[in-house]
Amino acid sequence: MKIAVTADAHLRTGATHPERYHALENVFEQTVDTGIETLIIAGDLFDKDFQNYSEFESLCRNHPSLQLHIIPGNHDSSISEESITGDNVHIYTVPTVLEFASVTFLFIPYMARATMGEKIAEMEHEIAGKQWVLVGHGDFYGGVKEPNHLEPGTYMPLSRKDLGKFKPRTVFLGHIHMPHSPANDVHYVGSPCGLDIRETGHRRFVVYDTADGSAEDRVVETDVLYFKETFLVLPRDNEVPLLKEEIAKRIEAWKLDASDHSRVQVSVEASGYAKNRSAVLEALEMGFEGFAYFNGERPTIENLSVSSDHQLEAISERTMKLIEELDWSFGGDEPTREQVELAALSVIYGN
């Protein structure tokens, strides 16, 4: 049996955010078109302080063969089967165990001031000795943590210790909007549509096969693709050719088809130190020519200073090479490489 999983749609009205409805509808359509009859939504289906569910109910009625299994997240903790109607809509406001094709699924809705481990322990008698899958909404601590830029702090954490103790076969989580898998068989499915310019790239939903435990990504066809590119410029004679090469690499890494170009919105910024600020700005504008800018804001070089001291240039180039040689795979909440580089340049140039 195959089951589709998504999360963090953060729906409001179709008039204010039509792209979010269109993305979720595309998930519905792809799911139905491939013969899948079950879709799990791992929290934050709706945005904070939003209580008009009629457009979502209409979407569900248009796909009557699709059974939706939903847990509330921290943004929509008040939703329930009493507030949202639909024969194919099932909302779990307390920890609940369901069976899909002989695989046990434990649905744990978001609860403030609780941990997922605590709630799993309360249901341990129903999952003990079984092959089971966890569906929750919160923070996973056990790998490189991808921050939720909209919500600092900790939300209903799940630890690696919990995984070792309760041994779920697979974990699907909502809350972090970036699609990624921070550990083996732990999956943040991510939001089906980027909510702002910081949520970049193609979005996905996941198809889970209960037979073999595999999780396959499916690309969501969204109205918009966000990209945010920042460039650190060092004062060199070949600073502009190097920048042009880096721009080409960034765009190639987007992995776009020709049909995607019209959906792109990009934010571009250069910081650091340059010999020729005007040439840097021109390179940025030419490099991203043909793409729309987010909110119409063209590339900015507000944080790009001018350097004319050859000795300081030599020191900065050597420093950047030393920083590059460090191991940057440690993860956690430590400064990023770019933050370290900018701090080093500020010390070198006395800013």
The Cα angle at residue 328 between residues 326 and 334, in degrees rounded to 5: 115
- In this prediction, residues 245-258 reach a mean pLDDT of 96
Confidence of residue 342 (pLDDT cuts 50, 70, 90): confident
pLDDT > 90? residue 200: yes
Give the pLDDT band of residue 331 (cuts 50, 70, 90). low
Residue 312: which pLDDT band, with cuts at 50, 70 and 90?
confident
| Mean pLDDT value of segment 247-274 | 95
Q: pTM to 2 decimals?
A: 0.88
Q: Which domains does the chain have, with CATH numbers?
A: 2-220 (3.60.21.10), 225-349 (no CATH)
Supply the pLDDT for residue 155: 86
User: 238 exposed, middle or buried (CB, 10 Å; 0-12, 13-18, 19+)?
Assistant: exposed
Mean pLDDT of 4-11: 98
User: What whole-number distance in Å separates Cα of residue 131 and Cα of residue 170?
Assistant: 9
pLDDT digits (tens, 9 = 90+) for 61-110: 999 999 999 999 999 999 999 999 999 999 999 999 999 998 999 999 99
Which tens digit of pLDDT belongs to each residue from 149-193?
555 567 899 999 999 999 999 999 999 999 999 888 999 999 999
Q: What span, in angstroms and rounded, lies between the C-alpha atoms of 343 and 336?
A: 11
Looking at residues 250-271, what average pLDDT do you find?
A: 95
% of the chain exceeding 70 in pLDDT: 95
Asked if residue 54 has pLDDT above 60, the reply is yes
Residue 207 pLDDT level (bands cut at 50, 70, 90): very high
pLDDT class of 284 with cuts at 50, 70, 90: very high
The pLDDT confidence band at residue 143, using thresholds 50, 70 and 90, is very low
| Confidence check: pLDDT of 148 > 60 | no
Contacts of 111 (CB under 8 A, 6+ apart): 77, 119, 156
- How long is the chain? 351
The pLDDT of residue 330 is 63
> How high is the pLDDT of residue 150?
54
At residue 332 the predicted structure's pLDDT band, cuts being 50, 70 and 90, is low
Mean pLDDT of the chain: 91
**DSSP states of 112-163 as a string?**
TT--HHHHHHHTHHHHTTS-EEEEEES-EESS-----TTS-S--S-EEHHHH
Q: How confident is the model at residue 144 (pLDDT cuts 50, 70, 90)?
A: very low
Beta strands in the chain (DSSP E): 2-6, 38-42, 67-71, 89-91, 96-100, 103-107, 132-137, 140-141, 158-159, 170-174, 180-183, 186-188, 203-209, 215-220, 225-233, 264-274, 292-293, 300-306
